[in-house]
Amino acid sequence: MNDLKKLVILSFCLILSWSAGAQQHPSIMITGKNVAAIRKGIQAYPVLAKSYSKVKDDADQALKEGISVPLPADGGGGFTHEQHKKNYIHILNCGIAYQISGDKKYADYIKNILLKYAASYEQWPLHPKRKDGHQGGRIFWQSLNDFVWQVYTIQGYDLAYNAIDAKDRETIEEHLFMPILQFFTQDCKETFDKIHNHGTWDIAAVGMTGYVLHLPNYVEMALKGSNKDGKTGYLAQIDQLFSPDGYYTEGPYYQRYALLPFIILAKTINNYDPQRQIFNYRNQLLSKAINTSLQLTYTTGNFFPINDAIKDKTFESAELVYGVDIAYADIKAQPELLDIAQRQNEVIVSDAGLKIAEAIKAGKNQPFVYHTEWIGDGLDGTEGGLGILRSGSNSDQQCVLIKAASQGMGHGHFDRLNMLYYDHSVEVFPDYGAARFLNIETKKGGDYLPENKTWAKQTVAHNTLVVDETSNFNLDADLAQTAHPEKIFFKNDGKIKAVSAAETKAYPGVNMKRTTALVTIDGLNKPILIDVFQALSSQNHQYDLPFWYNGQLVISSFKINGIKNNLKALGDDNGYQHIWLNAEETVPAKGGYIGVLNNKRFYTTHFTTGSELKVKLLSLGANDPDMSLVESKAFMLSQKQAKNQVFFSITESHGKVDPVNETTVGANSSISDLQIISANEQQVALSFKVKNKTYQYTINYQDKNNQIQLK
Amino acid sequence: MNDLKKLVILSFCLILSWSAGAQQHPSIMITGKNVAAIRKGIQAYPVLAKSYSKVKDDADQALKEGISVPLPADGGGGFTHEQHKKNYIHILNCGIAYQISGDKKYADYIKNILLKYAASYEQWPLHPKRKDGHQGGRIFWQSLNDFVWQVYTIQGYDLAYNAIDAKDRETIEEHLFMPILQFFTQDCKETFDKIHNHGTWDIAAVGMTGYVLHLPNYVEMALKGSNKDGKTGYLAQIDQLFSPDGYYTEGPYYQRYALLPFIILAKTINNYDPQRQIFNYRNQLLSKAINTSLQLTYTTGNFFPINDAIKDKTFESAELVYGVDIAYADIKAQPELLDIAQRQNEVIVSDAGLKIAEAIKAGKNQPFVYHTEWIGDGLDGTEGGLGILRSGSNSDQQCVLIKAASQGMGHGHFDRLNMLYYDHSVEVFPDYGAARFLNIETKKGGDYLPENKTWAKQTVAHNTLVVDETSNFNLDADLAQTAHPEKIFFKNDGKIKAVSAAETKAYPGVNMKRTTALVTIDGLNKPILIDVFQALSSQNHQYDLPFWYNGQLVISSFKINGIKNNLKALGDDNGYQHIWLNAEETVPAKGGYIGVLNNKRFYTTHFTTGSELKVKLLSLGANDPDMSLVESKAFMLSQKQAKNQVFFSITESHGKVDPVNETTVGANSSISDLQIISANEQQVALSFKVKNKTYQYTINYQDKNNQIQLK
């Protein structure tokens, strides 16, 4: 067949493909026409070779292990749970291995394991370990994992399709995929129609299956909801789950997770229905969401662990490998995405991965550019957001995150105006993340621990103000969902990068404003972190501002008298019951400082409230009968009784300890004499000294032309 | 001048050099004849280029900063301390920069700063911050730092010598170096003649200065002691400070430190007096000491932190860069040393560094080979020692250290039969090291903290047996110095790597034996760690065996009831006062297990004592008013009253957690049913099951042909 002839036939097939019902296989991440090129690419491009080798190793492992489709019994981390997870990975990897190697044994594995599932699936009841408040699955304890299973499995099936004979396909489709579609859309209808990441996975599974099996009815349901009226379904989810800045309200950890079904279904739609231009939908929203996911990481690759987050999670996770590959290949070939792909050191063995691998090999990559930016939350981007301040190179970057986003649904923490601070590739003021040992069966089946609620979600677990030893909204998630902080201003003018936000509902009768800035001072090596937390109230309150920190305490302006014995919990409730009080000191009105050595650098935090205050040194672990809490330490600035209160602090990152060469430089902070000159609803005027030069620092909440002045 | 002529003159000079008094400069790390080759090498070899660039940056920094020779005033980490430290580094680096660049400005810096020192030195009294029990210096608070200063400075002077005019040299030698020699040999005579690492630095400074200034009298004193009778001095130190295995009794941290003056003086002697064949002295002892230093590291490069050690210290430290370069270039060109040099990513810009850089560029390096070995302590190698067991690749190695060495003088810890366990590039059962914030002025001037004695040296701070809540030898260092543990056997036969040692003096009336092994079991991925600690006594004692661990507790065979409030110290003294008791549980005679997740791998420790025992969960920090103690955790096996007692434990390293891909495998340990069948002075017979197969494990202390049997 000559090339022209091929082209004509190919064009013909493409035009007819979806609309006329002639299905091409495979047609999702790998399309048939690119198989030869990917095979060649594996020879030519190291990252593609390495990625394929991993895929093939797993596929060979699958063949070696043989097929195991156990009756679903265990919760997260348990045997049947992990086996069914392994199975879907095996199925996908065998599908890829079949396409690349052409060796039918991989397709046979898929055929055989799917026949095995098809022989059992209809007999499986709802999972015995399902839990109240979670829609149970049939393969896994929660339906979410079933959806994920199908998103992977249907790709493997698509990849092996042409090697499975029609009769077996019929068995598989009739006794596995059709019952699955029915389960996903009917039994799980509520989830299917919910604007929520579980819903996205359900929709993606149904939509992809619909395309692969050529079931337009299911495709339409996936796109427009089970009523096909567009009120729910995929497009409604794109409209409603992300802000215009591409932020997903549950936070980065869940944004990453939510992203995969969005983009993989988008890729499927784009292949089958290119005229939809799905990647252009809502002003290229999916591209924004991928980029925003990357902006929601520190330079280590770790996602900002706000809300219920597993702290080890990085942009190396599979979701972002898909995201980066598709963003580069199918949306816009930004060369800085190649930097991320290189650090991921992996591509999806696919049409998109081929493009990435080719571009890396051609040396097209440019360093990833981290932005100082405000990322708005909410449908129209006005329901608060995240303020991210960055300074320095990708190898030694200061980064401040102020969380002024909305509650973020069920996985939200009660940490309005929370601050995270990173420097020198480590956490300086960390967030605890979730209280959870993911996939550790012995720790509550890998699920959230009770301490997630009693500790991790509580306000005092975060670097933000606690009023009267209670948590924001008294930990009422529904109430919290009704209100969000307001951005006052965001500024990025080079010398001053600042974010200012207000929260007025979290504590009734208390108006809170936080203005946090990275400020460059002549004569200092690095910007200083100026943090001004103001609370205004007509009533007296106890105000506690904790700074959870990493590192070792090495200096303080006041004598610390560590409590020697009979350590007591700081309080009875709202997270305070989990905190040990290690020391409590009185600091005079002029303020003081505390210095910490962390990753060979000093962090000295100077502070004043303009009146005498207590500084409490804290560690985590009280009332923890199962010993599930992870070591954490804080110093807490505490004002027992005040109506209006400003907490003014400056954290200087300075000096260097080289333990290998045994040298120390710059151990002393250059900051001193913090003063609160005046503070009211309109303005806070402050001053401080750097090496004996006095600076006036004024925050104007209302004057748009003079939001921050430094003189 | 033609080449032949040059060669004749050169040879003539060489022959005459030391004996006839015609001095060549420079003649220590860089010799004049190699300068041209080093210059070329900097163009050709990346690691040499990088190393020189660092040297030159520091030299340029020195020129930029100008000269500062402050009146000595501050302790470790303080301004004058750090300035004088910087000065000697600057002096050496300017010397190298002068030789390589030929730019006289670097030599002028050396001339000027030394003239400045020469103008003040004689007026400086003993340092105001000197301490009781430490010989004070004049530049630094302790004379040790003065010696180090001179070891570096004399090299810089030697490098710049030819560019300093005779009159200035006379001033520098008369008013700085001669008074220094006098101070080092007369005021510091006791140190100079002491067989101790401070003495080595003193001797090296005096010997090198003697060579460079051509003062044979001082050279002879350096080699043979101030009485020139050979009872003290350099050769006596080589004879007495190292064991035949090249072990320095204070432990790895001090071995590294002690090494530099040894090898740099050796290099100087070798250049000036090659006929001494100093590197062959005592059966190539210095070469052994360098290799042993490397064997005393884990694969991360960190030295085993036994005794007073700073835990961050790695073989990247300058001493080991010198050591590796000289060992390769001047003693024996072992290609595996190039692996270390590559990981150091630095060479000394010198004759030796040139050879290393050349060899690396030529691709001669081979992976460093870590040995399973016994390293004997003591003059004849029979005063106990260290047993090191290793298994696995350099990137994922299990490593066990049993410390059965002698006390190690003043920096020794009271931790007879202590165990350190590493795996997967992290500490599993760590040692605390020293309680010290090196060079942090605010933490007791960077010196050892009070907690070094009240905590870090105490027996309970280590992974070894504590009898009756006291420490070995009741913390009497002099007494401890009189006795050492005995090696019972050491075995390395592939399937079983084992060390067995006894200590009978640390607790009067208690005979302690520890036999620790890495044992390969068919069907398990990694060897298991079998630890058998036996105590025999005619009296009743309380026996506590702590396992200080890293990671998070995830499983236990018994219910743990964490103490919820009013945390109490475990005891009153001997380190117990610093420990919080977090939980205390009773475990039945058949034993139990505790499992920890550390760096994404599981470590399950099964244990039994054959009788009911208490397991105590501990954390560090009680009675720590300055909050100086670093977070640490342990589980402690505790037997309240027993005469004879065996603690039998097996720690399995198993499974894998991948938080990025959210998978967990192998979370369950395969070990069970530990049993102590019999135990007496001759033999301990044990059994355990692996996946339901029973193994008999027998230790024979006296039968040399059957020390360990596994059936």
Q: Does A659 touch chain B (CB under 8 A)?
A: yes
A630/B552 touch (CB, cutoff 8 Å), yes or no: yes
**Which of A560, A529, A505, A489 has the alpha carbon at shortest distance from A708?**
A489
Cβ neighbours for A31, distance < 8 A, ≥ 6 positions apart = A24, A271, A351
Strand partners for A555: A595
**Which of A334, A208, A213, A311 has the alpha carbon at shortest distance from A256?**
A311
Lay out the sheet containing A552-556: strands in order across.
A486-492, A496-503, A510-519, A528-537, A645-654, A601-608, A592-598, A552-556
**Which of B124, B134, B44, B19 has the alpha carbon at shortest distance from B80?**
B124
Residue A8, classed as helix, strand or coil, is helix
Structure tokens belonging to residue A635? 């110093």
Q: What is the pLDDT of residue B22?
A: 53
Lay out the sheet containing B693-700: strands in order across.
B671-679, B683-690, B693-700, B708-710
| Interatomic CA distance for residues B408 and B457, integer angstroms | 12
Pairs of CB atoms within 8 A across A/B: 147
Chain A nearest-CA distance from B63, in A, is: 18
| Interatomic CA distance for residues B690 and A225, integer angstroms | 54
Q: Which residues of B does the annotation mark as catalytic?
A: 254, 411
A552/B583 touch (CB, cutoff 8 Å), yes or no: no
Q: What is the pLDDT of residue A13?
A: 41
pLDDT score of A2 more than 70 = no
Range A84-113 average pLDDT: 98
Are A577 and A623 a contacting pair, CB within 8 Å?
yes
Q: What is the pLDDT of residue A16?
A: 37
User: Residues A173-184, buried b or exposed e (16+ Cβ, 10 A)?
Assistant: bebbbbbbbebb
Q: pLDDT tens-digit profile of A660-677? A: 888 888 999 999 999 999
Compute the mean pLDDT over every residue in chain A, rounded to the nearest whole number: 95
Range A45-52 average pLDDT: 96
B313/A659 touch (CB, cutoff 8 Å), yes or no: yes
Low-confidence ranges of chain B (pLDDT < 70): 1-22
Q: What is the pLDDT of residue A11?
A: 41
The closest CB to that of A659, out of B310, B567, B664, belongs to B310
Q: Does A560 touch chain B (CB under 8 A)?
A: yes
DSSP string, A46-60: HHHHHHHHHHHHHHH
Q: Does A4 touch chain B (CB under 8 A)?
A: no
Q: What is the pLDDT of residue B439?
A: 86
Burial class of residue A21 in the structure, from the number of CB atoms within 10 Å of its CB (0-12 exposed, 13-18 middle, 19+ buried): exposed
Structure tokens belonging to residue B492? 């390395």
Q: What is the pLDDT of residue B1?
A: 42
* Region of residue B468 (left: phi > 0; alpha: psi -120 to 50; beta: else): left
Using a CB-CB distance cutoff of 8 angstroms, which residues of chain A are in contact with residue B571? none
Q: From the candidates A149, A548, A557, A564, which should be mutated to test the interface with B, based on the most B CB atoms within 10 A?
A: A564
Number of separate helices (H) and strands (E) present in chain B: 19, 25
Between positions 206 and 235 of B, the ones with CB within 8 A of A are none
CA angle A333, A339, A344 (to 5 degrees): 110
Q: Does A333 touch chain B (CB under 8 A)?
A: no
| Interatomic CA distance for residues A281 and A292, integer angstroms | 17
B442/A554 touch (CB, cutoff 8 Å), yes or no: yes
Using a CB-CB distance cutoff of 8 angstroms, which residues of chain A are in contact with residue B308? none
| Interatomic CA distance for residues B179 and B138, integer angstroms | 11
Q: What is the DSSP letter of B623?
A: T
Between positions 449 and 488 of B, the ones with CB within 8 A of A are none
Among all residues of chain A, which has the CA nearest to that of B628? A553
How far is Cα of residue A157 from the mean position of the Cα atoms in its chain? 30
* Tokens 């996911």 -> residue: A293
Q: Does B124 touch chain A (CB under 8 A)?
A: no
Between positions 128 and 147 of A, the ones with CB within 8 A of B are none
Number of Cβ within 10 Å of residue B384's Cβ equals 27
Number of Cβ within 10 Å of residue B1's Cβ equals 6
How far is Cα of residue B204 from the mean position of the Cα atoms in its chain? 20
Q: What is the pLDDT of residue B519?
A: 98
Using a CB-CB distance cutoff of 8 angstroms, which residues of chain B are in contact with residue A441? 664, 667
**Which of A486, A489, A513 has the alpha carbon at shortest distance from A383?**
A486
The closest CB to that of B659, out of A312, A621, A625, belongs to A312
Using a CB-CB distance cutoff of 8 angstroms, which residues of chain B are in contact with residue A619? 621
Q: What is the pLDDT of residue A22?
A: 53
Chain B nearest-CA distance from A571, in A, is: 10
Q: Does B443 touch chain A (CB under 8 A)?
A: yes
Using a CB-CB distance cutoff of 8 angstroms, which residues of chain B are in contact with residue A552? 437, 630
| Interatomic CA distance for residues B516 and B498, integer angstroms | 6
CA angle A537, A539, A540 (to 5 degrees): 105
Strand partners for A448: A436
User: Residues B568-587, buried b or exposed e (16+ Cβ, 10 A)?
Assistant: ebbbeebbbbbbbbbbbbeb
Report the amino acid identity of residue A46: P
Are A194 and A231 a contacting pair, CB within 8 Å?
no
**Which of A556, A531, A515 has the alpha carbon at shortest distance from A649?**
A531
Beta strand A552-556 with A592-598: parallel, antiparallel or unpaired?
A: antiparallel
* Tokens 């650090």 -> residue: A343
Q: Does B564 touch chain A (CB under 8 A)?
A: yes
Structure tokens belonging to residue B476? 């009497």
Q: What is the pLDDT of residue B25?
A: 95
The closest CB to that of B667, out of A441, A560, A661, belongs to A441
Using a CB-CB distance cutoff of 8 angstroms, which residues of chain A are in contact with residue B565? 568-569, 622-623
**Which of B609, B620, B629 has the alpha carbon at shortest distance from B676?**
B609
| Interatomic CA distance for residues A644 and B351, integer angstroms | 69
Using a CB-CB distance cutoff of 8 angstroms, which residues of chain A are in contact with residue B438? 657, 659, 662
Q: pLDDT tens-digit profile of A313-372? A: 999 999 999 999 999 999 999 999 999 999 999 999 999 999 999 999 999 999 999 999
pTM for the whole structure: 0.91
Using a CB-CB distance cutoff of 8 angstroms, which residues of chain B are in contact with residue A313? 659-660
B443/A554 touch (CB, cutoff 8 Å), yes or no: yes
Are B135 and B191 a contacting pair, CB within 8 Å?
yes
Q: From the candidates A65, A300, A314, A567, which should be mutated to test the interface with B, based on the most B CB atoms within 10 A?
A: A567
Range A611-624 average pLDDT: 98
Q: What is the pLDDT of residue A504?
A: 98
| Interatomic CA distance for residues B56 and B48, integer angstroms | 12
A439/B662 touch (CB, cutoff 8 Å), yes or no: yes
Q: What is the DSSP letter of A456?
A: I
Q: Does B61 touch chain A (CB under 8 A)?
A: no
Chain A nearest-CA distance from B425, in A, is: 17
Q: Does B90 touch chain A (CB under 8 A)?
A: no
Number of Cβ within 10 Å of residue A213's Cβ equals 20
Using a CB-CB distance cutoff of 8 angstroms, which residues of chain A are in contact with residue B624? 562, 564
The closest CB to that of B77, out of A446, A660, A664, belongs to A664
**Which of A333, A185, A320 has the alpha carbon at shortest distance from A262?**
A320
Q: pLDDT tens-digit profile of A269-325? A: 999 999 999 999 999 999 999 999 999 999 999 999 999 999 999 999 999 999 999
